[in-house]
Structure 1
């Protein structure tokens, strides 16, 4: 495989635009080149206009000091690194208190590269994951219930494509301007059009606003699209300077042959990115090599920071979107809680770029925010140690945790700091 300085095999299309002639059919089989994409991938295309976001509020120093004072009843060092997180949560929110309504927002979008054999899963798994999350079935929904985290699905053209006659979703989502169906394969064409990128970023911001306006005080943004780690790797390489072979991970657990295919896609897509955008031009990066879910996740993280709401970073897509969100909304990193280093070095590299230290070194992996859900109960426990909780005040009250019939008759129901 050639290095990043070597362009992919290209040939002129009928419109004179150079396009990759290295194409694959479903699951990596060879086929003839596709007709030219409707997206213009010429390097001379003007950059997209910037996204207009309100400024991110500065951390509340008074709330930070109050958090430390409030915790003074605990033995020194009792909470370890979790003490820093509690202080950060207080500074972001402007008040020190336990989380009451955490929400997981699963962003569902399909990626054209999933047809190239870069994942261990079939492309159809995207719709299955989104449907399971919406229906409250499957392992992610089960772990979310156990962690007291509510789940909402942001459909970016997946469920409407698989079942266009389905009744309106519970979350009354708006899909105007969003593509129905997969993005284009990023090794040969732009992932999205300009209007689609703008709509996806706006959709992510709107989802953050809706959940926060409904009382959410902690957000977890996640993706469920098959193949999402491939555009994530391209964007990671674009903003960090990593070589494609270093940025390309095993994702869903692919074998060597699939990894070679994936690394080639990352290489070719990165070549296109470097012709089209600087690493500070977030909308253009997302247009050329992202996807609707990554654009929406970027918007969601940025808007959460604007709204003084902590947001979890927990895997490669969320870490890459966090880097882009910080560039859209400088200071957004103050609202980011890095829960885990993830299972690949790309996540760690993105966190390092943001100056974030992960809370755990658990090598969690999985779609739809599973890694975050495994860590969050420890955060809720640290909050309980610092602030206490009354009955019915658990995270996600109103969920299965509110009426836990398995609670021991001897469980502690009144907070007493002397117990420590």
Structure 2
């Protein structure tokens, strides 16, 4: 069970301004509902910030990285060393997420939650290592209950620090060879979905590789027999340090009433765990996209989430969240800058 010392205080949204926000949206110089999803996004941001004039301040992309012991079971076509190599690529500015984050003036922080490598100091690197990668959950829990709690607490502290520095919108991404296996297992157990529906190609598995991954997950689930009613125990047994720390950061961000930009399958799996700890967190979430991982569409349905984009992405890293950020900007700018019928002296539709 969740430790009584680890309580997340995520408050439900204050809806006191909802009627006025909706009135302002409807009074813009457009037919009712003509901006579709952008209108709903503007309303959500206004409610999160509890203001009629929301702003986006110091957007930051948090990319959590860690290694996974289950890689020993042959669930990835890439060796574990790629995790550390990609972290170095992030820090050098050469990865996909670096390009998209720079394009949209998002700061990027790389969080070493548990990579099997010691990195030199770097201004964009946050050292929060819980361990040198998780254990192979085929043979035992991926992490201890204490390590799981440590990861959640560290993520929460990180998000609180970013909010204290002025950030009110945070994107969440990840890197970790083997983490689609971990995420697929979490989704299967917590959502009571068949393993086959939760498993995809990950970093490029062929059909035989996907079948192998599914077999590993089924064996692990049969071995542990953990209750879906205990999300922290499920996370400790099947999770990764980056997934656990990301879940803690999401909860911490929501505690500070920050907008959460949720990336793809693995980030949404972290959110799934977080939502079982504090269901109110979902009100703070903007779902960036539906990834090409087969389990993601089912997971989004379970969370009643409506993603902004569907681009066939399956890179991770937070790339989908960064690509969706301009839509968030558009929603805020529309709410704050678009003329009303009154200010523009434009006649309304008859009967409105």
Give the structure-2-normalised TM-score: 0.89
1:168–1:335 distance in 2 versus 1, CA, 3 Å: same
Q: CA RMSD in A?
A: 2.3
1:291 aligns with 2:248: no
1:373 aligns with 2:322: yes
Deviations 1:49-95 (A, max 9, x none): 35632432221223333432333223023321111111111111212
Do the aligned residues in 1 keep the contact of 2:65 with 2:111 (CA within 8 Å)? Answer: yes
Task: Give the secondary-structure state (helix, strand or coil) at the position aligned to 2:11.
Answer: coil
- C-alpha distance in 1, partners of 2:40/2:188? 30
1:356 aligns with 2:305: yes
Shift of 1:213: 0.8
Structure with the bigger percentage of helix: 2
| 1:180-199 equivalences in 2 (<5 Å) | 181-199=132-150
1:128–1:388 distance in 2 versus 1, CA, 3 Å: farther
Do the aligned residues in 1 keep the contact of 2:89 with 2:95 (CA within 8 Å)? Answer: yes
Do the aligned residues in 2 keep the contact of 1:154 with 1:207 (CA within 8 Å)? Answer: no
Do the aligned residues in 2 keep the contact of 1:311 with 1:337 (CA within 8 Å)? Answer: yes
1:226–1:280 distance in 2 versus 1, CA, 3 Å: same
Shift of 1:48: 5.6
- C-alpha distance in 1, partners of 2:43/2:233? 36
- Unmatched segments (≥5 aa) in structure 2: 347-352
- C-alpha distance in 2, partners of 1:417/1:304? 38
| Residue from 21, 29, 36 that aligns with 1:80 | 36
- Structure showing greater radius of gyration is 1
1:266 aligns with 2:223: no
Deviations 1:156-202 (A, max 9, x none): 132xx4336x2375556444xx11x2211112221111221111111
Do the aligned residues in 2 keep the contact of 1:133 with 1:151 (CA within 8 Å)? Answer: no
Do the aligned residues in 1 keep the contact of 2:109 with 2:124 (CA within 8 Å)? Answer: no
What does residue 55 of structure 2 align with?
98
Task: Give the secondary-structure state (helix, strand or coil) at the position aligned to 1:331.
Answer: helix
- C-alpha distance in 1, partners of 2:218/2:298? 18
Do the aligned residues in 2 keep the contact of 1:186 with 1:265 (CA within 8 Å)? Answer: no
Shift of 1:226: 1.0
- C-alpha distance in 2, partners of 1:83/1:417? 19
Do the aligned residues in 1 keep the contact of 2:110 with 2:126 (CA within 8 Å)? Answer: no
Q: Aligned residues, how many? A: 339
| Residue from 185, 200, 221 that aligns with 2:172 | 221
1:354–1:168 distance in 2 versus 1, CA, 3 Å: same
- Unmatched segments (≥5 aa) in structure 1: 1-46, 390-415
What does residue 154 of structure 1 align with?
111
Give the structure-1-normalised TM-score: 0.75
Task: Give the secondary-structure state (helix, strand or coil) at the position aligned to 1:365.
Answer: coil
Deviations 1:29-58 (A, max 9, x none): xxxxxxxxxxxxxxxxxx563563243222
- C-alpha distance in 2, partners of 1:257/1:155? 32
| Larger RCO of the pair (alpha carbons < 8 Å, separation 6+) | 2
Do the aligned residues in 1 keep the contact of 2:8 with 2:251 (CA within 8 Å)? Answer: no
- C-alpha distance in 1, partners of 2:221/2:242? 19
Shift of 1:253: 2.1
Do the aligned residues in 1 keep the contact of 2:112 with 2:125 (CA within 8 Å)? Answer: no
Do the aligned residues in 2 keep the contact of 1:109 with 1:225 (CA within 8 Å)? Answer: yes
What does residue 350 of structure 2 align with?
none
| 1:18-417 equivalences in 2 (<5 Å) | 47=1, 49=3, 52-71=6-25, 72-76=27-31, 77-95=33-51, 96-158=53-115, 161-163=116-118, 166-167=120-121, 173-175=127-129, 178-179=130-131, 181-273=132-224, 275=225, 277-388=226-337
